[in-house]
Amino acid sequence: MPGAPGGRGADGANLRQLTGDAGTGAASRARRPAGRRGIDRRARAVNVDNRLWFLLLCLCWGGTWLAVKLTVAEVPPILVACVRAIVSGLAMLAIAGARPALALARAAPRRLALVGLLTTTLSFAAVFWGTARLSTGVAAIVNNATMPIGLLVFGCLLREETMTRRQLVGIALGIAGLCLLFARRSGDRLDTDAIAGLAGVVAGALAFGLGSVLARPLLRLASPLAVGALQMLVGGLAMVPVVWLLEQPSPAVLAALLAPTPLAGIGWMVVAGGIGATFIYFRLIRDWGPARAGMYAFVTPIIATGLGAVVLHERLGALEVCGAVILFTAAGLVIPHDRRWRSTAPPASTPAAPHRRDADATIDRARGPLG
């Protein structure tokens, strides 16, 4: 009788259940490799996307050096640095939100002021002033190679880092490379103007390194974007009296900020070299980790040098090339390599802020003097 216990109906139902289960299991096993293949394809697609993001990041920050060089040719450099910092700070504050920024300002006002003075007032002013006296490529090379050395040295002095023998060799090489660049000559004489520019860029990079190490506790109180917004605003506002004392811009000079080249240059620094590059870098920090994402420091100067050669017809001499090779070697020895990094990115393609445990590395590398 159909449906009776032990009858044919039950046997048929049991048989169908068994064959159905077997079919489902077979289908499931057949689907698993396809599922893994799908995941692999998506992972490869994300990796390709991140490589494109990395290239765009290097273009943004490499182009920023050219934007600075073109802008300071028409407007005094410290004035450009001041405007760039204040506009970038306001834009980043609008994105980060006023509430976390105000909470940070109330929680650590003295440290925030010190960080702003170091990473923006001193760093921006020195780097922009030095870039006005150097070629685009040399300024980018010296800044990007000096930055990790400064971060390591100040981190060790403040007991935030420990130094390995490999990194000690990197520091020694970095000093040798800088000495080689400081031996620049113009004819039979030392090129004192270029040497002063080199000193400015090195001083700016070291000031930013010290400020970055001091900024680490602030990242336990607020997001990197909020910290960056306040550091830009505090440092930019502190730069205003420096501009009036040292450069004394006339109304005509202030009006020159609205000329096509300075306006486009500052716009690039704020939008592409500031906000856009920061978001891209946070995405790469999330997906690749700090060490791999930090490789922009080796690519950006190459792009800056190429743009300077094409647009401004700049050329590097043999001395600059040798110094650059030594500096890049030194930076490669100093930068830490974390091979244990595992991406914590969700499948979505939207950028996300790095996790708190990675915030120290993020603040060190995400926002250089021109980043």
pLDDT score, position 348: 41
pLDDT score, position 131: 96
pLDDT score, position 252: 95
pLDDT score, position 16: 47
- Here the tokens at position 99 are 């509430």
If you ran DSSP here, which 8-state letter would residue 189 be given? E
121: left (phi over 0), alpha (psi -120 to 50) or beta: alpha
In which band, very low, low, confident or very high, does the pLDDT at 240 lie, cut at 50, 70 and 90? very high
Q: What does the alpha-carbon distance between residue 285 and residue 293 come to, in Å, rounded to a whole number?
A: 6
Measured between alpha carbons, how far is residue 325 from residues 128, 151, 152, 171 in Å? 23, 20, 20, 14
pLDDT, one tens digit per residue, over 255-277 is 999 999 999 999 999 999 988 88
pLDDT score, position 44: 59
pLDDT score, position 341: 47
**Which range in 13-22, 312-321, 340-349, 360-369 is most confidently predicted, on average pLDDT?**
312-321
Annotate 273-330 with three-state secondary structure: HHHHHHHHHHHHHHHHCHHHHCCHHHHHHHHHHHHHHHHHCCCCCHHHHHHHHHHHHH
Q: What does the alpha-carbon distance between residue 177 and residue 175 come to, in Å, rounded to a whole number?
A: 5
pLDDT of 357 > 50? The answer is no
pLDDT score, position 356: 42
Among the residues of the chain, which ranges form H helices?
8-72, 77-96, 98-107, 109-116, 123-131, 136-157, 165-182, 192-215, 224-246, 251-256, 260-267, 277-288, 290-293, 296-312, 318-334, 359-366
Percent of the chain clearing pLDDT 70 (strictly above): 75
pLDDT, one tens digit per residue, over 79-127 is 999 999 999 999 999 998 999 999 999 999 999 999 999 999 999 999 9
- Here the tokens at position 162 are 């420990």
**CB neighbour class for 138 (10 Å; exposed up to 12, middle 13-18, buried from 19):** buried
Average pLDDT over residues 202-220: 90
pLDDT score, position 188: 62
pLDDT, one tens digit per residue, over 142-177 is 998 888 888 888 888 888 778 888 888 988 888 888
- Here the tokens at position 306 are 């190429």
* pTM of the entire predicted model: 0.78
Q: What is the mean pLDDT of the chain?
A: 81
pLDDT score, position 297: 84
Counted residue by residue, the chain has a size of: 371
Nearest to 328 by CA among 138, 187, 198, 112: 138
**Where is pLDDT greater, at 157 or 249?**
249
Cβ 72 vs Cβ 292: under 8 Å: no
Contacts of 185-192 with CB under 8 Å at 24 or more apart are: none
